[in-house]
Amino acid sequence: MMKRSLGLSYLLVAMLALQGCAGWNLEKRGENGGAAQAAAVEARKDAPVVIVGAGLTGLTIAYELKKAGIDSLIIEASPRIGGRIQTVTFADGVTAEAHMEEYFARSPAVALLKELDLPVIEDVAHSTVRLEGKIYPYQGEGDRDQYLAGIFNAEERAAFLKWNEKAWGIYSKLHASHYEGKPLPPELAELMRISFAEFISRDKLPHKVSEWIRATVEPEMAIEWDKIAALDGIDEMRLFLDTPEGFGEKNYHVRGGNTRFTEALTARLKPDQMMTQARVTAIDQTATGVKLRVLVKEREYIEVTGRMAVVTVPVNHIGRIQFSPALTPEKWKAINTTKMGSYIKVHFRVAPEAAPLWSQNGESILTMLSDTQAGSVYDVSDLQGSSMAGRDQVLTLLLHARFARDLMNQPLDEVREKSAEALDKLFPGVRKHIKYSEIFVYPQAVAYWPLELGRSRFDALADDLRSPQGRIYFGGDTTVDSHSEGAVVSALNISRHLIERKAELK
């Protein structure tokens, strides 16, 4: 999920004047947008479209509908808007991401960031890699041949490029079929029946090349490459392939942190379009509309009505909502057989004197994808554009898949010690510079479609979940892929449908 962070080209888009963008609650907000002290006010209880969840998907849908002149109400269980987007600030003002980091160039999320005039930092697709005991520092400033020469010998490079051509050919067919709303050609459908690991092994690639592919794809999906269908793996590899448009996709970080994204979307809505600390527990459908039961502040049920509802909660939370009439067996099967990969994020505050440990020729070699318990390592100050001169650094470790699962149920002290140990193996001596850590544990972080249950993100069950049941739509990244791209893709698709059904929203 991360790239190298050297030589970032800072693409500064005009700054957004963020207004008081806190959401609405059942309480009135203070003048400064802070938590409310004022008297409780009556929340809205009806809207043409009722959106469950104020993550990137829910906010994007409300924003798109507003642009089309359609009113909506977002109901969010937590007191905080943003879901799996959350920037945290340390006591000295340095920021880091608790959840997601970056957006890739071809994701519609990037177009949205630009539309909202948010300042972004541009980075290249590839990173330093550590494979089987050796670190290969990033080189090439985006140049394919220089990057590959830094890792592979001539024979490995040729094998990689041949494989790349094959993978890009398959992706192009996927783009021309599934992504254009057409059926998959049989040779692609076949790739839903073997694992991505098996697909790679059939080409008998040099070991280092296949390990590079594995180290690249597994952090993206937070699951091992033998657990997913080959077609899903190829879809993920799109971000890193050599294509007619360049070597890998550029990616973007929001300067100052991703929360600015969800704040900017919220600021475009009317204050009474947001209800927080309100958990949807049931959705009933009638011939003319929807009726939602909502538990407010964990103590009072209210009823909210609308013409249509959009559920944007991750698939592993849908089962906590009652539906009447019940969801179809196909929908439940699609929901119950979509699984979630795991992440742990460890932010180490490290004394500034440690920086030379991950520098070569005076420049940082981070971001690094590693095949060790340290997972992927990156330098937050570079990625968020904070000035860290003379200050403690933030080194972030994103442990994925087995690395995360190995520590999942351990006390945080153990997670810290094991992660520090792994980091010290990569950069000997760093441990004594660590001052403290903050740790976020995500047993269920992002979706994957388990091959052992016969699933792929491109199968008929996935298509079924993406289609509405009467007046209820299901959206969110977990209906599309493992990223914010899926969140925005689903938001745009659902918004388009709802705009087409505008007459039914009266």
Ligand X SMILES: Cc1cc2nc3c(=O)[nH]c(=O)nc-3n(C[C@H](O)[C@H](O)[C@H](O)COP(=O)(O)OP(=O)(O)OC[C@H]3O[C@@H](n4cnc5c(N)ncnc54)[C@H](O)[C@@H]3O)c2cc1C
Residue of 6, 49, 56, 315 that binds ligand X (CB under 6 A): 56
Interface with ligand X, residue 425, by CB under 6 A: no
Whether the CA torsion 441, 409, 318, 230 is positive or negative: it is positive
Integer Rg of the chain from CA: 23
Directed axis angle between helix 56-67 and helix 259-267, to 10°? 30
- Considering only 81-89, 143-151, 183-191, 413-421, which stretch makes contact with ligand X by CB under 6 A? 81-89
31 or 298: whose CB is closer to ligand X?
298
The encoded tokens of residue 344 equal 């742990």
Whether the CA torsion 288, 59, 497, 116 is positive or negative: it is positive
Min CB(112)–ligand X separation in Å:
12
Interface with ligand X, residue 446, by CB under 6 A: yes
Residue 454 Ramachandran class (φ > 0 left, ψ -120 to 50 alpha, else beta): left
What phi and psi values does residue 451 have, to the nearest 5 degrees? Answer: -60, -35
User: How are beta strands 246-247 and 87-89 bridged, if at all?
Assistant: unpaired
Interface with ligand X, residue 52, by CB under 6 A: yes
Residue of 5, 47, 50, 58 that binds ligand X (CB under 6 A): 58
54 or 308: whose CB is closer to ligand X?
54
Min CB(159)–ligand X separation in Å:
29
74 or 229: whose CB is closer to ligand X?
74
Interface with ligand X, residue 379, by CB under 6 A: no
200 or 265: whose CB is closer to ligand X?
265
Task: Write the binding mask 337 to 366 for ligand X: x where contact by CB under 6 A, - elsewhere.
Answer: ------x-x---------------------
Interface with ligand X, residue 83, by CB under 6 A: yes
- Considering only 203-211, 266-274, 310-318, 348-356, which stretch makes contact with ligand X by CB under 6 A? 310-318
Q: Considering only CA atoms, which of 452, 259, 252 is closest in space to residue 337? A: 452
191 or 346: whose CB is closer to ligand X?
346
Q: Which helix (H) or strand (E) holds 103?
A: strand 103-104
107 or 139: whose CB is closer to ligand X?
107
Q: Would you give the distance in Å from CA 122 to the centre of its chain?
A: 17
Min CB(274)–ligand X separation in Å:
11
Interface with ligand X, residue 400, by CB under 6 A: no
Q: Considering only CA atoms, which of 305, 253, 315, 255 is closest in space to residue 282? A: 305
**Total count of residues recorded for the chain:** 506
User: How are beta strands 368-370 and 363-364 bridged, if at all?
Assistant: unpaired
- Considering only 46-54, 211-219, 334-342, 409-417, which stretch makes contact with ligand X by CB under 6 A? 46-54
Residue 254: CB partners within 8 Å, gap ≥ 6? Answer: 113, 118, 119, 120, 121, 260, 261
230 or 311: whose CB is closer to ligand X?
311
Interface with ligand X, residue 1, by CB under 6 A: yes
* 344 and 442 Cβ atoms separated by less than 8 Å: yes
Q: Which helix (H) or strand (E) holds 402?
A: helix 401-407
Interface with ligand X, residue 99, by CB under 6 A: yes
* 187 and 177 Cβ atoms separated by less than 8 Å: no
- Considering only 82-90, 139-147, 204-212, 379-387, which stretch makes contact with ligand X by CB under 6 A? 82-90
Angle at 405 between CA 401 and CA 407, to 5 degrees: 130
- Considering only 22-30, 162-170, 308-316, 356-364, which stretch makes contact with ligand X by CB under 6 A? 308-316
CA–CA separation, 204 vs 210, rounded Å? Answer: 9
Three-state SS for 21?
coil
166 or 320: whose CB is closer to ligand X?
320
Residue of 102, 232, 242, 263 that binds ligand X (CB under 6 A): 102
Residue of 23, 48, 55, 341 that binds ligand X (CB under 6 A): 55
Three-state SS for 100?
coil
Residue of 130, 483, 492, 495 that binds ligand X (CB under 6 A): 483
Directed axis angle between helix 207-221 and helix 154-176, to 10°? 40
Interface with ligand X, residue 53, by CB under 6 A: yes
Residue of 64, 71, 101, 263 that binds ligand X (CB under 6 A): 101
Min CB(132)–ligand X separation in Å:
25
- Considering only 22-30, 34-42, 167-175, 482-490, which stretch makes contact with ligand X by CB under 6 A? 482-490
Min CB(262)–ligand X separation in Å:
9
**336-358: b (≥16 Cβ within 10 Å) or e:** ebbbbbbbbbbbbbbeeebbebb
Interface with ligand X, residue 85, by CB under 6 A: yes
Q: What is the DSSP string of 328-341?
A: PHHHHHHHHT-EEE
Q: Which residues bind ligand X (CB under 6 A)?
A: 1, 52-58, 75-78, 83-85, 99-103, 279-280, 312-314, 317, 320-321, 343, 345, 442, 445-446, 476-477, 483-485, 487
